[in-house]
Amino acid sequence: MSQDQNTPLREDVRLLGGELGSVLQEQAGKSLFDTVETIRQAAVESRSTGEMQVDRLRQLLDPLDDETLLEVARAFSQFLNLANIAEQRHRERLHRHHQRFSGDPDTDHGLRHVLSELKNADIAPSDIFDVLKGLSVELVLTAHPTEVTRRTLIRKYDRVADLLAAQDRPDLTMEESQELRRLLHEQILAAWSTDEIRRERPTPIDEAKWGFATIEQSLWQAVPQSMRAIEAELVLAGLPPLPEDWVPIRFASWMGGDRDGNPNVTASVTRKVLLLARWMAADLYLRDVENLLADLSMHKASKELLAHTGPSHEPYRLVLRRVRNRLRVTRAQMEARINGEPEPAGQAYESGQQLFDELSLIDRSLRSVGLSAIADGQLKDTMRRLNCFGITLLRLDIRQESTRHADALDAITRYLGMGNYATWDETRKLEFLLAELENRRPLVNEDFYRTDFCNEDVREVLKTCKVVAEQGPEGLGAYVISMAKKPSDVLAVMLLQKIAGVHQPMRVVPLFETLDDLNNAPTTMSTLLNIPQYKQRVLEGQEVMIGYSDSAKDAGFLGAAWAQFRSQEALTKNFRNHGIPLTLFHGRGGSISRGGSPTRMALLSQPPGSVAGRIRVTEQGEMIRFKYGRPSVAAYNLEQYVAATLEATLMPPAQPRPEWRNQMERLTDISVSSYREVVRDDPALVAYLRTVTPETELSRLALGSRPARRKPGGGVGTLRAIPWVFAWTQIRLMLPAWLGTGTALEHALKHADEADILRNMSREWPFFQGVVDMLEMVLAKSDTRVASWYEERLTDDDELIGLGEKLREHLAHTVSALQQLTGRESLLDNNPVMRWSIRVRDPYTDPLHLLQAELMARLRERGSDSMLESALMVTIAGIAAGMRNTG
């Protein structure tokens, strides 16, 4: 990218920074502004020398009282949020012009580029058409709590982004420009005057409403917008038109359904979320229908339509009024159910097909009388929304941990005098489960619920299955079993659904998370496929979820990545041999260590044949806002998913060479051992995490409804992957993303033959290219000097200081090994925009790191202080904004 293309980004950053400075002087006084500016200039000067000069910054920060510390933290945090807005706006600007944004490796491979490559590869248009027609991309919005910014601030930041976009207009008058500047100042002032910190932890229903808001404010517009862009590219490529209602993108959610380790997600919560989603969908379609009523005033209609309406000068409006009335009834009935009130009479929509049939009638009529251009307008957008969102808005997944299902069945077998299910071996469990799945009689009746065998945990599992039975299949997605290990884990959920009276069962999806479980996943699924009763139930397709977060926490980034690859490869082969379509569900997070990577890189790094036109992916936390928070950005990212899935299906990467496989085995043996030597075997690691990082303080931040730990107390094993990553990111050590990998690379690079293989892998194998690129990006965000300051301020324990020195040495060796592998002297030399993005943030994140360490020390000395706690939370949120990810 040329420097000229980056000029608007730099100008936007300067503009927003200038307005923030003006607000600071107005609201906090020149003294605070001067303090902030002095600290910023010192940080800039420090960074210009190549590393942060702590002593100079410390001299500036130490004398500040608690109140001033809070205001300084707020100032730097606000700037980082504004810098993110400027970057996001720059992406929108470049996407619109189809230019390459080198900070995002996806953007030069949009659908047009992919279709051109397919043509050059002599792939038949009929093959492209067939894949597109059956293409399925399902994005699952999750309740993982990594969005630190309050919704009220997000709305203000969105308004700032809109104003930046308006300023790009080339025909602005001076008066219009001045008015935009005034409005920009107003929004930044409003943001400064708003508390950054969420004071109350959101409930699961709050989280679900946040997901609904993303659809209402962005995706509702983005889906038809992206479909029009995709359609235009297909026409340009000379491909035949796809069906009018073709939408390859669907959305699902875990918000209100993910109960794994979250006691706040109950059966009643899930029921309410499902009803709220139906209410929201009816309300959104009502708005569409009101617009159609205003526009479809024409009188020419088909005989088919007139047979429904009778003679009329405005037959379309007659049909639409009936649709409107029915949607109103649907919305009113959902509201009554939510509030536990009597339902109003009237005919509601029970399925999306009912609404689609009525809209299709209008569509066919318009096309038959020569009004196709009208049909291709708002009506087509509404029909596409209906095919994407249905009348349930989102398909809700249920997720529960495998032992909870086993406990429920153990209670039932003990109640029936059949023995202890929990103590049976796998063979006996399978015999029992298969026999009961075929048995027509109920296993237990309502009497069971009144016994001591049915404790609260067991009752909750069964009540959840009863909600599944009540709601029907249209609003439900997958029943995901976390920590799945054995075939009985899958059959157990199938039996529990049968016990609850589910007539159309949810598909059961095992989630393989740890290193051992990923390695054993192909055997587990093969055992199931070799059971005729099971195979018959999944003939139309099976979904398997691959866990990125816990596998990386268990084995380190490199070991987990290779285990995920091999597991998917073996699963793909097994299901192909059985003739059953396989959909792989990728449980990715935003951070590198949790599988986060650009869309195209992520899909093309999968084993060849594993995508096969179908992909399901989680979208988590702040990534939902970054990728889908604004309609134009969301539309672009949806097109990227379609393009990358098409490319990965028709032009998959080649099979890895035998020497590459052997090298990966050697690398991962070393990396897993090195990672676990620290994380599992070093007794000082847990103390270091809790002393030097803000891991314990993170629990004070009201991020999400789910507890940070699966179980109270305990070590790293009980800590969830998100706070595990979040804590290391805050001190810029980024440990989960590189620990062990550097040792493995360093060892291989010492041997000339292995070094040659590694360089070939990084040039020719998309999987390993992705590993190297993402490792380079995360290492560029790390900073050993920042990490050491936390130590200097927070501990005098020789053991912890020794561990910190060892970790920083490991990090330095990892950077060196990566530079040796890539041949680049500086990290991100091949990605100047990303490098600039990190560097422009450093003078603002540096003071926040120092402030955070100081605040942690003061809080630990005093025990509790509301002002210090507020300031600490601001630094956490600000550093998260500066790093552009949390967990």
Active-site residues, by number, are 144, 553
Whether 319 and 358 have beta carbons less than 8 Å apart is answered as: yes
The span from the CA of 857 to the CA of 877, in Å, is 18
Token pair of 371 as six digits = 């009004």
Cα gap 98→106, rounded to integer Å = 12
**Burial of 351: CB neighbours in 10 Å, binned 0-12, 13-18, 19+:** middle
Where b means 16+ CB within 10 Å and e means fewer, 438-468 reads eeeeebbeeebeeeebbeeebebbbbbbbbb
Specify whether the CB–CB gap between 156 and 187 falls below 8 A: yes
Q: Which CA distances in Å does 198 have to 213, 451, 543?
A: 18, 42, 37
- Which residues have a Cβ under 8 Å from the Cβ of 105 and sit 6 or more positions away? 598, 600, 601, 773
Task: Check if the beta carbon of residue 244 is closer than 8 Å to that of residue 400.
Answer: no
Nearest to 491 by CA among 528, 457, 455, 522: 528
What DSSP letter does each residue of 629-654 carry, written as one string? SSHHHHHHHHHHHHHHHHHHHHSPPP
Give the integer Cα–Cα distance in Å for 648 and 602.
10
For 614, phi then psi, to 5°, come to: -135, 130
> Alpha carbon of 776 to those of 741, 742, 773, 814: distances in Å?
12, 11, 5, 10
Return the sign of the alpha-carbon dihedral for residues 139, 132, 371, 376. positive
Question: Which residue shows structure tokens 């790390």?
Answer: 782
Q: Is the Cβ–Cβ distance between 615 and 583 less than 8 Å?
A: yes
Residue 473: C-alpha distances to residues 274, 390, 442, 502 (Å):
11, 12, 22, 10
Whole-angstrom Cα distance, residue 685 to residue 797? 13
Of 523, 597, 521, 526, residue with least CA distance to 773: 597
Contact 184, 19 (CB under 8 A): yes
Is residue 362 within 8 Å of 320, Cβ to Cβ?
yes
CA distance 610 to 590: 22
549-570: buried (b, 16+ CB within 10 Å) or exposed (e) per residue?
bbbbbbbbbbbbbbbbbbbbbb
Question: What angle is formed at CA 651 by the lines to CA 648 and CA 656, rounded to 5 degrees?
Answer: 85
